[in-house]
Amino acid sequence: MQNFYKMRYAKGYIFWESKEVWESGGNILISAYRDRNEGFVNSDLLVEVASIFSLELNDSLNVIGAWVKTQIDFDIEDFFSDYGAD
């Protein structure tokens, strides 16, 4: 995984591709919600990881979720994505 730009806020954490993407109002790649014990993964990231590692989308979501858990200071029970929402 690349080094994402991570910002902590009252409800959890948000990850962007870079600080420049955050500053320009770009898309959020990952959100981790402390109050709901769940995380969101952007479909573009989900598909990219699946493609790079030849994974099914669900397995990609699990890999990303496991990584996110190492980057935050609370537990996440479930991850979801906006894949197929277009």
Domain count for the chain: 1
pTM, whole model, 2 decimals?
Answer: 0.90
- Write out the residue range of the structural domain in which residue 38 sits: 5-74
| pLDDT tens for each residue of 30-77 | 999 999 999 999 999 999 999 999 999 999 999 999 999 999 999 999
Neighbours of 18 (CB within 10 A): 13
Domain membership flag for residue 25? yes
> Average pLDDT, stretch 6-25?
95
Structure tokens at 79: 């991850």
Domain membership flag for residue 42? yes
Q: Give me the pLDDT at residue 2, please.
A: 67
pLDDT at 86 over 60: no
Domain membership flag for residue 24? yes
Residue in 33, 34, 31 with CA at minimum distance from that of residue 15: 31
Least confident residue range of 2-11, 17-26, 47-56: 2-11
